[in-house]
Each structure stands twice: as C-alpha cells, then as structure tokens.
Amino acid sequence: MPNLKIDDENYLHYQLLDGDKSKPYLVFLHEGLGCVDLWKGFPELLCKITGCPGLVYDRLGYGKSSPLNHRYTIHFMHEHALNTLPLLLEAVIPNTSFILIGQSDGGSICLIFGAERPPLLKGIITEAAHVFVESETVAGIKNVDDAWEQGKLKGMFKYHGDKTKIMFKAWSEIWLTSSFKHWNIEYLLPSIDVPLLLIQGRDDQFGTVEQVNSITSKFGGTVHSKIIDNCAHSPHLEAEKEVLSFMREFLSQVIQG
C-alpha cells in the first residue's frame, strides 16, 4: 500500500484507482471521521461508470496515515487545503488535471483549495460541505461526542486503529470550542471559478440547506445543487444510485468542457 512521506514524522496513505489517463483524476476527500475504507467502495464505482482514474487517501491522523502529533486549531481545514493537499497532488499525479470530490469537512477543504484557483483543477463536487457553523452542526457533533464518551463508537477502531482517540478528540474538541462558532469560509466562494456540484441530504444532522443556499448565492463559477429527500449526512451511501447519476452527469459536462 503506497504512502507519501510528508516530512520526517508524517506520511499519507493513498490508493490509485484505474481509469482512462486522458481524463481528469477524481480525487476523494473524506469526512471529519472518515478514511479510504469508509467510502465503502463508492470511489471505485464512480471511476468505473465515468472511466476516470481516481485518487483516494487518508488525511493525517486517519485510517492508515500517520497519527496526529498536534491538536487542531481553527485553521485545520485551511492547513490541509493549502499545504498537505497540494503536496499530495504534486507528488502522486503531477501535471495532471483533476476534479475534487469531498464530503463534509472534505467538502469544505475542496472549497478552500478551489479558491486558490489552481490551474489543473477542473471542477468540484461536495456532499454536506460546511461554509459556516450552524447550531445544528454543533448539536450534531455534541451528540457524536456524547456517544464516544458512552463507549458507543468502538467500531471506529477498526478503521483508525490506535490513532482513533487522538483523531476523534482533535476533531470533536475544535468543532465544539466557542471560538470555532465563528469559523466561516463564505468569503472564499466568489474566488472559485470552476464548475461546482453541491449535494445535500435534506435530513442532514450536521447542517441544513442554508449551507447550499449560501454557496449558490456567493459562488464565483457555475453551480448546480441537488437536495435529496430522506437522506442525512452521507448521500453517497444513503442514496447511492441517485448520487452516482448526479455525479456522472456533472462529470460528463465538465470533462466535455
């Protein structure tokens, strides 16, 4: 399994997915508690039906990547979008066009990265991306944190191993601090100039359709949005067929130009 060394202490685990190398790579960014394995094979399905090659990876502290050696700050998503992600892309798929696909925190990272207008970025797809902090977000994360404290999330150790507690607490503690309530990336949206597909479950326990409304009203490029009924925070798992159809149509338009 390939790993990319970031520095003397840190490495990223990644996997490349087969596809037509003349098409853009689909680069998948997982949610705040996710990893490669928790995509549950969705990246492979999307690459298969579009013919695109893919890159899926674990952020630092997650899955098979190196453990976190620091606490998160309010800038943790910016740090990944502006520092770690560019290193990964340059090392693994240099001089190659790509499209970002991110869920939740991964979606927010996609938007931060997109605001830099990297020339090889051709489009962005987000599921349940956050651009500001809602009371629903805080309440949802508090519920997850309570479940952790009650020992109800032991299944996470299967995916993150002995890194699980450090990773989980880094994530939950920063989201639940009073200062993080002011986190906001709406100011970046007008700077993004590639096509965007937004997907949101109407019953998302971590955010409302106001996230979508904010993005569509401020976005600098072409934007499409899909709100899925009877669906919560993981549309690609809860409404797989619909999401595959939405993404395939969007990707076909982006690739054809």
Query: What's the CA dihedral at 246, 240, 228, 38 to 10 degrees?
Result: -110
Range of the domain at 123: 3-256
Angle between helix 85-92 and helix 105-114 axes, rounded to 10 deg: 80
pLDDT in tens, 151-183: 999 999 999 999 999 999 999 999 999 999 999
Q: Are strands 98-103 and 25-29 parallel, antiparallel or unpaired?
A: parallel
Low-confidence ranges of the chain (pLDDT < 50): none
Supply the pLDDT for residue 104.
98
**Domain tally, the chain:** 1
Supply the pLDDT for residue 1.
67
* pTM of the model as a whole: 0.97
CATH number, domain with residue 215: 3.40.50.1820
pLDDT in tens, 80-123: 999 999 999 999 999 999 999 999 999 999 999 999 999 999 99
Q: What gap in Å lies between CA 172 and CA 174, rounded to an integer?
A: 6
